[in-house]
Structure 1
């Protein structure tokens, strides 16, 4: 049936086969093809009649309108905080109050020290003040200020005006002369009375001298000096912000401002003081992201007429990618020396994190340590080792934390803490690399031991199966924090002999050691896939990236897509602060809810030595010194073993599926020093050890049928398939170019 067969254009008609017929005229006119006549009438009452060929409205008007709650929510989408931001953080509140107290203490001390100078100035200026006072009284009494007006009347030969002015002057002079005589008489009486009271006379003389000295002050020479010279920082205004955005050369911003200068850039909150600087919250034009602005930070510095170290734009992706938070500081962050509270701390608790530095607004930043692993990366000379030194010092001041330090550069930057370490090495030679590789092997075994020990703890002591302060204080459990530092770790992971095994061990520790109190701190100046295995860089939880050269290095340290999301450590200026560089400043990710620019605290060698001395005294009194710190020689060449190869060795090809507990017993017979602790466990703990150890290799366990080795009834228990282990070995060895497993 065609359109011509339906002359009335009835949308409810159908053809002989029951198919619905669409009203083409209604569709072309913008009406719904199945709309009833009543609905069309109602729509035409709202929109007006739709003529053929007229375009349909896409956005229909909302006749109901938003409810009062929706309207209120739109207006109150961002509420201003009731409590000021600086009072929300105890550390920030204490720091603010400390700064204010020191400021006014300085002002008070400055002025008190200059009281003799101010007294001398008042004494010198008192005669001039006396002359000014007398001349002023004379002028007022005899109405001398009106003399020019009377002379003008004489010169104009206006007798009527002159007589009127003269009578007015005579009346004023009579009254003022009487008042002056009364005032003089009162002063004389007061002087006579004060003369009979020496103390009162002295105070009166002092008061008169001060008053005369103030009256004699020259207009261009103030009496009191300023204790604090105010800065000439320009106040941040909306016009200045928009000016800085227009010079960035971003097409989206310039086009939006050209079309709509008033609303192209929207300020979602008033520009306010935020710490030692100004903060502006901005919604960029549609299609422009914060990452576009971060690339132009140097141009923004020129537009705002402020040093580059004062300009810190950042985004708030929790709202949207176009929300820009522009903070303009009063002082250059590069020239700011951040003092660490660890310098004066008697001790420290690593469960509370380690004070690491401050953000551009001067707010202290603490890096959590427990249940974390930390990766630090940068170009050479940008403050990487100095940042490691802060973390090592914080861990050293906790006498319950076991410290392992491997400084694989050989310069001795961490030597002050050698006397506090269970294991310590400093060097770049093969012996030092081998020692560091042995440490990772030992740490892997320690993770396995801790997993079994933690599993055996009762639920009331360890409900979450994580190391807590209470558990760490029980030294007999051996579950205290263990912080292992590997500075210049690229020399270990890229080593031709030890690198592959060390990378596997580090990945295993990072994945499983967090909840067991084992923390790795890795620092590298060459973040690539060879010197920093992807399994490590992908699983660390806290990252600190100082200046790097490009996007690849940036994302290796800060995580995939960090550069794309505007988190770019390439924006920092290379070089030390003395030469205008940003050494010590980097992006910190994972330690705070949002990525932050942070300048790490600076600890020089003498300060680090003082901290190490206090830490050594704490550990000596607590009895927690061990290993290298006691002069012992821990096993430098820990026995190395390959778990997968060992499993294949104890499970012959004839056994396709074997229980975990059987394999563990066989492994313990093969290598008692490595697997004996597993076999000592009972029940599910023994089975879980092997399951956990095989998980990083992609080998899954499951229910398999078997019988006890000594005979007995068969059953389904947790076990593995031997072919899965052989396949994993084949894939691993093929990547190394060693062939396949037999």
Structure 2
């Protein structure tokens, strides 16, 4: 910003330079050490005030009931008052003492003198109390008459009401004022260390029970039971010989011992040793919470190379997964939320306009139909024709993977230092290294079909070598076994999603045997734990995830937004666009099938002039390399002299043309990436 003005010395200046704003970071007012105490105090005071206000309003609304009950008990109060007054005047309290000494007057012992003294004191007390009672009655009568003369009927009414209330309070019973508590303590008991130890003692673990019998402090708490998010966190060390896995596989019993719902108790191994256990107890069971809302449902874009938000953990924190450089396997019984979870992962990837989607639904349902507008390949048919289309597409993707590696080998080291597809390389459309997400739902249908052996080989190859080339394969099945998830796939997948399974064997196939031994087992999920899974990412400990729920209509809305973004960026082909010249078809048209010779590039360029194309030997060689057709040394004698030039064989052109036609036939909606 410039303007004319004068400085403080009177000199004219032409430019005023404004200093950059300084970012101010405000430190917390409460010190970190006392912050938990302050938080607990504030929360406790707020809860106490809310409870007190609720109790006051609750009982205030029931005051008429209380008054009616007090009035009804006033006769009882009058009778009790009369009985008490007479007992006081007659000194009924000393009756037992006098009765116990009734035979002492004839014994001639010291007890006789004591009895006579007690009797004398009794007579004097009765006289004194009778006089006091008469005085009190006279004073009360005088005051009553005076009040009646002074205030008239009003005084009588007030005195009568007061007397009735006083007598009603005196005559009240135990239930007179008890309508019910204002706050009903129906929730579970407060989580304490003693309750945790008691619950652990009910699990039926022999070594644990033996240690507790010998020493009540055998379970050592490494930190106090404390609040963590919307629940409680417990960290403890189990006795020697007891592992966290022993407790985790008895999660239902542990929840019963803690008097909580099973979906509110989540034990997990600690990070120190096998005997370290962490128990998270949420305030509300996960199956009683509302479905997790996906933050990308209405707006936002993603990147294949950055974490994608797919749900939330047991503490309500977002759970994110990264697809770049990963292959994924997912498994779970029907109605466990497996397809919905994997579909959320695919929707997140679809919001990156560079991602090319291949979707195979072996179930043959409608779960994946919303992806049709942007999917390069979509097959939901489970018949022989559909399986053949899938095999053709798998072969084409495998061939494209080989091409990608050839392209990566030709790139400069500074552009591709790790030999892997990066975000910068994926953005260069001419390299055709854009990300590819290949999802096979109900993979057992494809891998156990007529071409199951070949399909399994391609799947294992894509899982082993695809991630570095930008290809991510996702296998999902409701029957985790070596037939639906090949051994090579389960051993090399770096991203694993384990929904509810029926046994630990299925859980181990998905998560791995060592992970199951550590206590992470999907067969411990309850029937109501829909949408819950263990998520195991490469290099991380398994974490619990409740996947966001996106139904079919919302999925179609997200796909429409993704398609609009791709159209805006020119990543979808125009329907009215003229088809590009087919170089391979033109070559085969001018090269008869019976001609088995290898042609030089300049000879082939001359023949292509018959089709109206103007090409040179150099440009033709470059174009054929782009189609993965290698050039070869062709020797020929010309006028008796051997001449060597670069050329091509017709069978190589035929092979490339067949592979391209197969991929084009299988594609539903080419993306143009």
TM-score class, shorter-chain normalisation, is 0.5 to 0.7
CA distance change for structure 1 residues 519 and 269 in 2, over 3 Å: closer, same or farther? same
Where does 1:341-490 land on structure 2 (aligned, <5 Å)?
Answer: 341-490=295-444
1:375/1:512 CA distance change after superposition, 3 Å = same
Q: Does 1:324 align with 2:277?
A: yes
Query: Which residue in the other structure is 2:459 paired with?
Result: 506
Higher relative contact order, structure no. (Cα contacts within 8 Å, ≥ 6 residues apart): 2
| Deviation sequence 1:136-166 (CA, Å, 0-9, x none) | xxxxxxxxxxxxxxxx9x97979xxx9xxxx
How many residue pairs get aligned? The number is: 447
- Choose 1 or 2 for highest CA Rg: 2
Superposed displacement of residue 680, structure 1: 6.1
The whole-number CA distance in structure 1 between the counterparts of 2:632 and 2:419 is 17
What SS does structure 2 have at the residue aligned with 1:343? coil
Distance 2:632 2:189 in 1: 70
User: Following TM superposition, by how much is the alpha carbon of 1:255 offset from its aligned partner in structure 2, in angstroms?
Assistant: 0.5
Say yes or no: does 1:610 pair with 2:557. yes
Please give the root-mean-square deviation of Cα atoms over the aligned residues, in Å. Answer: 4.2
Superposition pairs of residues 24-63 of structure 1, within 5 angstroms: none
Could you say which residue in structure 1 is the equivalent of 2:164? Answer: none
Match of 2:241 in 1: 287
Using the alignment, how far apart are the partners of 2:629 and 2:457 within structure 1?
Answer: 20
Distance 1:624 1:388 in 2: 24
CA offset at residue 323 of structure 1? 0.5
Equivalent-residue separation in structure 1 for 2:574 and 2:220 (angstroms): 61
Quick one: distance in 2 between partners of 1:353 and 1:483? Answer: 15
Query: Which residue of structure 2 lines up, in the alignment, with residue 659 of structure 1?
Result: none
> For residues 23-172 of structure 1, what are the structure 2 equivalents within 5 Å?
none
Deviation at 1:538, TM superposition (A): 0.8
Aligned with 1:362: secondary structure?
coil
Report the Cα distance in structure 2 between the residues aligned to 1:156 and 1:452, rounded to whole angstroms. Answer: 120
Q: CA deviation at 1:413?
A: 0.4
d(CA) in 2 for partners of 1:363, 1:248: 30
* TM-score normalised by L of structure 1: 0.54
Counterpart position of 1:241: 196
Alpha-carbon separation, structure 2, partners of 1:594 and 1:358? 16
Match of 1:677 among 606, 620, 628: 628
Q: Match for residue 491 of structure 1?
A: 445
Measured in 1, the distance between the counterparts of 2:189 and 2:543 equals: 25
> Is the contact between residue 263 and residue 526 of structure 2 (CA under 8 Å) also seen in structure 1?
no
Aligned to 1:597: 544
Residue number in structure 2 paired with 1:334: 287
The SS at the match of 2:305 is helix
Partner Cα distance (2:374, 2:538) in 1: 26
Cα distance in 2 for partners of 1:231, 1:607 equals: 38
Is the Cα contact below 8 Å between 2:499 and 2:522 reproduced in 1? yes
| C-alpha distance in 1 between matches for 2:512 and 2:300 | 36
State the Cα distance separating 1:509 from its structure 2 match: 1.4
Give the equivalent residue in structure 1 for 2:650: none
C-alpha change, 1:308 and 1:605, in structure 2 (3 Å) is: same
- SS of residue paired to 1:244: helix
**Could you tell me which residue of structure 2 aligns to residue 516 of structure 1?**
469
Change (3 A) 1:420 1:230: farther
- Structure 1: distance between partners of 2:439 and 2:632: 31
Which shifted more, 588-597 or 234-243? Answer: 588-597
Following superposition of structure 1 onto structure 2, how do residues 249-328 of structure 1 map, counting pairs within 5 Å?
A: 249-262=204-217, 264-316=218-270, 318-328=271-281
| CA distances 1:416-446 after superposition (whole Å, capped 9, x unpaired) | 1110111111121112212222222111111
Q: Is the 8 A contact 2:244 2:268 kept in 1?
A: yes
Runs of 5+ unmatched residues, structure 2 = 1-31, 37-42, 64-88, 90-127, 137-176, 580-622, 634-642, 645-673
Structure 1: which 5+ runs fail to align? Answer: 1-80, 86-99, 112-117, 126-151, 163-218, 575-580, 633-671, 683-709, 712-742
| Pairing 1:521-670 to 2, within 5 Å after superposition | 521-574=474-527, 581-590=528-537, 593-625=540-572
Output the CA distance in 2 between the equivalents of 1:675 and 1:342: 38
| Equivalent-residue separation in structure 2 for 1:387 and 1:84 (angstroms) | 38
Cα distance change, pair 392–304 in 1 and its aligned pair in 2 (3 A): same
